[in-house]
Structure 1
Amino acid sequence: MLSFIRRIINSKAGLIVTFIVLGLVAVMFGLGDVSGLRNGNLGKDSVASVGREDVPAADLRQRVQNAWQNARQQQPTLDMVQFVAAGGVDNTLEGIINTNALSQYARMQGMVASTRLVDGRIASIPSVQGVDGKFSQTAYDQLLASQHLSDKQIHEEVARDTLTQHLLDPTFGATQVPLGVAQPYASLLLEKRNGEIGFIDTPAMGKGAAPSDAELATFYKRNIARYTVPERRLIRYAIVTPDQMKAAVTPTDAEIAQAYQASRAKYAPTEKRDLVQVVIADQAAANALAAKVKAGTPIDAATRAIGLEPNVLKAVEKSTYAAQSSPEIANAAFSAAKGAVIGPVRSALGYTVVRVDGIQQIAGKSLEQARPELVTALTAQKTLIAMSNAHDKIDDAIGNRATFDELVRDQKLEAKLSPPLLSNGVNPDDPNSKPDPAFAQVLAAAFGAEKGDEPQIVPFGQGGNSFAIVSLSDIVPAAPRKLADIHDKVASDFVIDRAQRAARQTAIDVVARVNKGMPLAQSLAATRLQLPPSKPIPDVTRLQLANVPRGTPPPPPLVMLFSMKEKTARMLEAPNKAGWYIVYLNHIERGDASKQPGLIDQTRSDLGKAMGQEYAAQFGEAVRRVVGVKKNAKAIADMKAALTGQGGSN
């Protein structure tokens, strides 16, 4: 909630704990990163060493791929180049190092994760549970096979994360914060600041002269990551849909007749009645109530007069009513005329009085009348069985090492080949290409596979009644587009970049003049550019910034306002190279939370959570020093280059 607490959590130390926790969640709640669990010492091929264990480059690469896929669930347009540039490789490596260091330290202290505990944690993973919510050996074996892992590797990794969690849990519990510590922070939330804001927009700088070929070549090389197309994959797939089963699932006359006979009760003529029922324990009271109702008193009024409430039954059948009351009462109620009063009749709960309020005769259906309904139900049933049988047959064939071509041939399916697609389903060579939601599971399977892997069966479409056979055909490594192919795009980017740098220099000059005493509006006018006028920033508190709606971050200029000195100006880059904000802080009014105990209590709670994370971060850093951590900077750099298409191999 609190902005200053956010900064604590997002600090370098806080990130250590963040990635430790993410590592635990990834393993224990779905094995989303399970394909990266590889053991062994690869020596020169390692990106880091933690104590006596190396972190193989293959491990890190696979985990980065998985982390990128997870991140894309929240940001579908995120490509690998952007992910690496945002620290995806470094942060993933930190998570691996922290988990390994803590687990080694735990063993140094004599801590052990028992086989029974590890088995229990594995069994609690949703991916290995059957439809009944219990551990499924079949699901577990399928998971191991799909991720190319052994049972031993899974147990070792879960044991390692269990020890890590046992070390960290006590430190997260440190939530006690004294009042004297919390009150100054709560007062900070009430601090008011005001000022002024101006904007140096990039277009105001003009386009300038057309760039030369040499300038474009230099710019292109310096920004090669911007023009790199991420890894793409060609996917072979065949779709199995219910429509393909039509010939085999059309019900025969014999099946329809058999279904009709099995449902004769459903299609026989029926009678439904509206009944009002009262059950009274005393026979004399029941006799009196029945007499009143027969004399003309409404049954509900007569019932309420003795402190009871009638039970109204609408459109009830005789068999249903007999189960609710008794066969004797049902026989009496369903043999009486409309408006008749039955009873009192002895029942298990006392004496029952019933009035018949309505009678509805429902005609039965002949075989021909029921045929459309029966055909629909039988078709759906036979389709479900046919799809299940086809799925099982294909699954068995895959288990017997059938190839994609053999599966398609045996099932008489149409094989299709996708163009080279990004992981979001877009073909970057087609300007009109858009992601197909129905294709999402196919993409996930293909981007989780390696060349030579066996075919996979995945759901297809939104309805959940179709599936697809998927096989990875080829991988197109990440690579930059040729300058000649994107000349106009690079030229446009060059012009914008040049104007943006000019806007930055202008902003630097404006800030320098303001900090020497010139008013912001006058300093903006001194640029002699067509700029929007400066605007005042009215009083705003830290609490207002902290309480913005979830998912809507506060404006960056206002956030920066609370990290400035009074009577000073600073500049801040606007998104998408649009220009530069100039923020001037005019006045600071200190806050006082002494009369707001609720705010102080909330601050104590938030600080306590941050303090627990800080303790865990400091503990993790100390463990790293004890165990010993070394990084192979060259191997890490080579991996980043390979992932972004700038290395010699993919």
Structure 2
Amino acid sequence: MLTFFRNFFKTKIGLAIALAFLGLIGFAFASMDVSNTGAFGGVAGGDSVAVVGGSKISTAELNEAMDNALRRAREENPDVTMQTLIAEGEMDRVLEGLIDRYALMAWAEENGFRAGANLVNSEIRQIPAARGPSGNFETAAYEAFLRNNSITDSQLRQQLRTTVYFQQAVFPALYGTQLPESIARTYARSFKERRSGGIATIPAALFAPQGDPTDAQLSEFYAENRSRFVRPERRTLRYATFDSSALGGSINPSDEDIAAYYQDNAEEYAARETRNLTQLIVPTREGAEALAARVRGGESFAQAASSSGLRTTQLDGRERSDIRSAASQAVADAYFSASEGAVTAPARSSLGWHIARVNSVDPQPARSLAEVRDSIVEVLREQKRQRGIAELAVGIEDRLADGASLSSVASELGVELQDTPPLTDSGLIYGTGERVPDMLAPVLEFAFQIDEGEPEIGALADQQTFLIYEVADITPSAAAPLAEIRNEVTAEWRRVRGNEGAEEAANRVLRRVEEGATLAEAVAAEEKAIGAPQQVTYSREELARMGNTRVPAPIALLFGMAKGTAKKLEGSRDLGWYVVDLEDIVLEDLEDNDPLIGQAKSQIAQAWGNEYGEQLIAAMRSKLGVERNEEAIAAVRRQLLGETN
């Protein structure tokens, strides 16, 4: 039933509450997605876009906040561009969020609220990703969390301070908001409402021009709609990979290296002996001696241990050093001085007195250099390979930093450079749905930050293969030239002009309905063969039960109209228009004990409280005073759009 109220906010009655609720939530997200770097520079119009009280919002913060907004948008649509966001008004929303954030912080500090280092540290310790395997805060886990989220410690602390101030200064205004019984019943009863009407669909394709536009028409349309044809920035990378094969024979050890390794590890190749033992640990010397005597007298080791309430353990393949480190030197001497099949003399360790039966003895003679040469060569080759590839990578990095070209380094390594197709920073090959090669994915973000012709080196995930690369070509984000996309622009022109014709038809149909015709009669009067209107009837409960399914826009409009009225509605993507005619509204009775009443109290009271919170933020802004620097805002907008003036 809670979904009833979520869907209720789509209605005209609940619109004000929905806007207040969403506005405050949007502010909270904006507050958590900006940082205070204060290092932009070079933007005409000054270094601040707004002043809240005595605090300046820098051009750097607005720039970075827009970058964050673009990153979030690309999580849903990888092809979205900064131009698209700005055209949709995102820059204004982001700036308003920044102003709200500054107003909150300034007002809170002015009125004695505090968010000190200890409180912020406490909030950081509560971050799940900052905890190690033990469940406690660990510096390494916290640093990894910062890296994964591309944020610095100081930026996170600033965000947490904002959150703490919100909890202290704003949240009390939201908490415990009460909704009157009469209002709760009114809202709850709205879900018993059923609406009936007709929907006429007027497709743009019916009105699209049949012929091609003239050059003048197409040029004019292109100039007026350049934002429709903006291409994202594309970069072509030139790259090659190399691994230890580039070291050639330098990783092969010499005879001197092999002999030195054999000498340094002589103990490993010396004669050795391993034993399989059945062991028993007894608390006292007397008890150990008594058990050893019983075994020597013919009783089995297991029987002697069991009758004394003890348990034996098996030790297989143990060397003297193993016993020494696990027990004591005395125990090792006792175990390795007894002959095969014998029971050892009691010997003491920190655990008690040890006795054991020597089940078997496996003597291994010393191994000569000739016998172990191949294994030593393998070990030394791997050591030299790892050290060599690391030194080679460092050397190449230094050479590139000193100005060496990518082609010269590739030539010395004996690897062939490859060029990628144009790539976007979302990780796609431009013009296709294909992803960039896996080896390039880790360096793609950085590759979109460097200039053309600046070679770099990076390690791949296996840490054994390295990538050398550079940006070979940069195509800035801009509207595609008309000559290159003439067919696409023509199709768009035809669709838009068709949509304009569909709107004119919708206006005519709407006018006829307003003059007294039925929707069916108004549609039939059109020259084009528009389909007959669809008769629909829905209740708000039925809309709520759709769950995650999006309510069609004409149906949503049907529930935002007055009875006996008709309205037009534009479809998506210039594909046509709708005319919606609301014929009847029936409101059913609401029982006194209907659970919708209680749910309305809690759900709508929450939104009501958020309205209070938004009003409080607005009051803070009014009290402090807000001045916007429109010249600086315009300069940031131009820079984000890639415009030079």
Deviations 1:91-141 (A, max 9, x none): 44334434444455466558899999999999x9999xxx984999xxx9x
Equivalent in 31, 36, 39 of residue 37 of structure 1: 39
Q: In the alignment, which residue of structure 2 is the partner of 1:493?
A: 492
Q: In the alignment, which residue of structure 2 is the partner of 1:94?
A: 96
Q: In the alignment, which residue of structure 1 is the partner of 2:458?
A: 459
Check whether the contact 2:340–2:360 (CA below 8 A) recurs between aligned residues.
yes
Aligned to 1:19, the other structure's residue is in SS state helix
- 352-361 or 83-92, larger mean C-alpha shift: 352-361
The CA deviation at 1:461 is 3.2
Query: Where do residues 201-350 of structure 1 align in structure 2 (5 Å cutoff)?
Result: 205=206, 209-213=210-214, 215-233=217-235, 241-266=243-268, 275-281=277-283, 284=287, 287=290, 291=294, 299=302, 303=306, 310-313=312-315, 315-333=317-335, 346-350=348-352
Deviations 1:414-439 (A, max 9, x none): 787767643235564x7697523322
The CA deviation at 1:370 is 4.5
Aligned to 2:483, the other structure's residue is in SS state helix
Q: In the alignment, which residue of structure 2 is the partner of 1:482?
A: 481
Q: In the alignment, which residue of structure 1 is the partner of 2:134?
A: none
Counterpart code for 1:480: A
The CA deviation at 1:229 is 1.7
The CA deviation at 1:481 is 1.5
Q: Return the alpha-carbon distance in structure 1 between the equivalents of residues 364 and 593 of structure 2.
A: 76
Check whether the contact 2:18–2:607 (CA below 8 A) recurs between aligned residues.
no
Counterpart code for 1:464: Q
Q: In the alignment, which residue of structure 2 is the partner of 1:403?
A: 403
Counterpart code for 2:482: L
TM-score by structure 1 length? 0.66
Deviations 1:66-110 (A, max 9, x none): 543465466533333333344442344334434444455466558
Q: Return the alpha-carbon distance in structure 2 between the equivalents of residues 461 and 596 of structure 1.
A: 59
Q: Return the alpha-carbon distance in structure 1 between the equivalents of residues 293 and 518 of structure 2.
A: 98
Aligned to 1:78, the other structure's residue is in SS state coil
The CA deviation at 1:269 is 6.4
The CA deviation at 1:623 is 2.9
Q: Return the alpha-carbon distance in structure 2 between the equivalents of residues 319 and 464 of structure 1.
A: 36
The CA deviation at 1:377 is 4.0
Aligned to 1:488, the other structure's residue is in SS state helix
Check whether the contact 1:190–1:593 (CA below 8 A) recurs between aligned residues.
no
Q: In the alignment, which residue of structure 2 is the partner of 1:167?
A: 165
Q: In the alignment, which residue of structure 2 is the partner of 1:438?
A: 439
Aligned to 2:33, the other structure's residue is in SS state helix
Aligned to 1:630, the other structure's residue is in SS state strand
The CA deviation at 1:19 is 0.8
Q: Return the alpha-carbon distance in structure 1 between the equivalents of residues 258 and 106 of structure 2.
A: 68
Q: 1:215 to 1:462 in 2, by over 3 A?
A: farther
Aligned to 2:99, the other structure's residue is in SS state helix
Query: Where do residues 8-157 of structure 1 align in structure 2 (5 Å cutoff)?
Result: 11-23=22-34, 26=35, 34=37, 37-38=39-40, 43=45, 47-52=49-54, 55=57, 57=59, 60-61=62-63, 63-65=65-67, 67-69=69-71, 71-72=73-74, 75-105=77-107, 108=110, 133=140
Equivalent in 621, 624, 628 of residue 624 of structure 1: 621
The CA deviation at 1:486 is 1.2
Check whether the contact 1:68–1:80 (CA below 8 A) recurs between aligned residues.
yes
The CA deviation at 1:627 is 2.9
Q: Return the alpha-carbon distance in structure 2 between the equivalents of residues 477 and 224 of structure 1.
A: 15
Q: Return the alpha-carbon distance in structure 2 between the equivalents of residues 617 and 461 of structure 1.
A: 48
Name the larger-Rg structure: 2
Q: In the alignment, which residue of structure 2 is the partner of 1:378?
A: 380
The CA deviation at 1:489 is 1.9
Q: 1:359 to 1:113 in 2, by over 3 A?
A: same
Q: In the alignment, which residue of structure 2 is the partner of 1:144?
A: none
Check whether the contact 1:286–1:352 (CA below 8 A) recurs between aligned residues.
no
Q: Return the alpha-carbon distance in structure 2 between the equivalents of residues 317 and 267 of structure 1.
A: 14
The CA deviation at 1:38 is 3.6
Report whether the alignment pairs 1:447 with 2:448.
yes
Instruction: Could you tell me which runs of 5 or more consecutive residues in structure 2 were left unpaired when the two chains were aligned.
Output: 10-16, 131-137
Aligned to 1:320, the other structure's residue is in SS state helix
Q: 1:206 to 1:307 in 2, by over 3 A?
A: farther
Deviations 1:170-206 (A, max 9, x none): 1465474378789969x96996899999995969859
Query: Where do residues 440-589 of structure 1 align in structure 2 (5 Å cutoff)?
Result: 440-449=441-450, 459-467=458-466, 475-497=474-496, 560=556
Q: 1:514 to 1:40 in 2, by over 3 A?
A: same
The CA deviation at 1:21 is 2.0
Check whether the contact 1:49–1:631 (CA below 8 A) recurs between aligned residues.
yes
Q: Return the alpha-carbon distance in structure 2 between the equivalents of residues 562 and 484 of structure 1.
A: 44
Q: 1:451 to 1:560 in 2, by over 3 A?
A: same
Deviations 1:125-161 (A, max 9, x none): 999xxx984999xxx9xxxxxx9xxx9xx98x88976
Query: Where do residues 591-610 of structure 1 align in structure 2 (5 Å cutoff)?
Result: none
Q: 1:447 to 1:90 in 2, by over 3 A?
A: farther
Aligned to 1:279, the other structure's residue is in SS state strand
The CA deviation at 1:384 is 3.6
Q: Return the alpha-carbon distance in structure 1 between the equivalents of residues 102 and 619 of structure 2.
A: 14
Q: Return the alpha-carbon distance in structure 2 between the equivalents of residues 99 and 469 of structure 1.
A: 43
Deviations 1:392-414 (A, max 9, x none): 5566678xx73354996699567
Q: In the alignment, which residue of structure 1 is the partner of 2:135?
A: none
Q: In the alignment, which residue of structure 2 is the partner of 1:31?
A: none
Instruction: Could you tell me which runs of 5 or more consecutive residues in structure 1 were left unpaired when the two chains were aligned.
Output: 28-33, 141-146
Q: Return the alpha-carbon distance in structure 2 between the equivalents of residues 290 and 611 of structure 1.
A: 88
Q: 1:210 to 1:355 in 2, by over 3 A?
A: farther
Aligned to 2:28, the other structure's residue is in SS state helix
Counterpart code for 1:403: G
Counterpart code for 2:437: D
- 507-516 or 311-320, larger mean C-alpha shift: 507-516
TM-score by structure 2 length? 0.66
Q: Return the alpha-carbon distance in structure 2 between the equivalents of residues 536 and 318 of structure 1.
A: 89
Q: Return the alpha-carbon distance in structure 2 between the equivalents of residues 162 and 284 of structure 1.
A: 66
Q: Return the alpha-carbon distance in structure 1 between the equivalents of residues 122 and 394 of structure 2.
A: 29
Check whether the contact 2:79–2:232 (CA below 8 A) recurs between aligned residues.
no
Deviations 1:335-358 (A, max 9, x none): 667877657654433344545677
Q: In the alignment, which residue of structure 1 is the partner of 2:133?
A: none
Deviations 1:589-614 (A, max 9, x none): 899998989x989996x999978876
Counterpart code for 2:260: Q
